[in-house]
Amino acid sequence: MAVDWSLWWSIWLFRVLVWGVTALALVVALVTAWLMWRARHRYAESSNSPGIMLYLRDESVLEIARANGFSEAVEKEVQDIVGSASEGRMSMEAIRFGASGGHTRSRERTEIYIKSADPVELIGVVLRSLTTGNGMVRVDLTTGTITRSDALAQALGPDHPHRVRLQDVDTYVLLKGRFRLVGTEDGRTTLVAPYGTAGAHVRLDCRTESLRREDIPPDAFKAQALGRVQSWNAERGELLVRPIALFQ
């Protein structure tokens, strides 16, 4: 029995098209939902308030902002139109009548100047930029864990070992831990935080003049520090990190 292909296509073509459009719409919906979830997840990470500011190195914040394409936010040209007015009067007096009148002359001048942004206002922009641009690695010092992310992969390169050491991370780090004040001398305020289980610790040498609060807790306190790894001292088990900001 011969198959009438024209009849077969007339029956099934419409159904095939409907199924194809439905499958395509389902794929688009799934991809859209995934992208929205990823965007919300990243926004939630970057928009969380870091807490009360304890320390901020102003020039470092400005440098990061410029390096990440936020020069307009750092410095912008401002034009102000300043108006001034002067009043002139004339008077005529006679024996039996008098006349007086006045008029006002107004002048405007334009003042152009450069307005620099406040680093306190920029630190939020910097944190969001580093997060979305994969320029910051998150580290939990209390558990000794480094969050695996695109930022970590970029910082270590394609041939990095499975076991990651914090001293090998060559990018900005956001350290979450329990910090403790250990001393203040020569214009520096030093904080340390234990890292891992082998007795190692992270050390932050903060410029005392850049502290935003004088009442740093005398005992260990939870905080987050944004900085960059400088060096590792194996004898002391000490990782020196250059601090940029510290939040409690």
Q: How far is CA 222 from the centre of its chain?
A: 21
Q: Considering only residues 55 and 31, tell me which one the structure prediction assigns the higher pLDDT.
A: 55
Is the CB of residue 161 less than 8 Å from the CB of residue 196?
Answer: no
Give the residue among 205, 179, 169, 176 at the shortest CA–CA distance from 190. Answer: 205
Distance CA 22, CA 31 (A): 14
Distance CA 160, CA 219 (A): 37
**Strand partners for 178:** 222
Mean pLDDT value across residues 63-79: 64
Whether pTM > 0.85 for this model: the answer is no
**Strand partners for 139:** 146, 175
223-235 pLDDT, tens digit each: 999 999 999 998 8
Query: What is the CB neighbour count within 10 angstroms for residue 195?
Result: 22
Find the helix or strand (DSSP H, E) in which 194 lies. strand 188-195
113-167 pLDDT, tens digit each: 445 567 887 888 888 888 888 889 999 998 888 888 888 888 787 676 667 888 8
Half-sphere CA count of 218, side-chain side, radius 13 A: 0
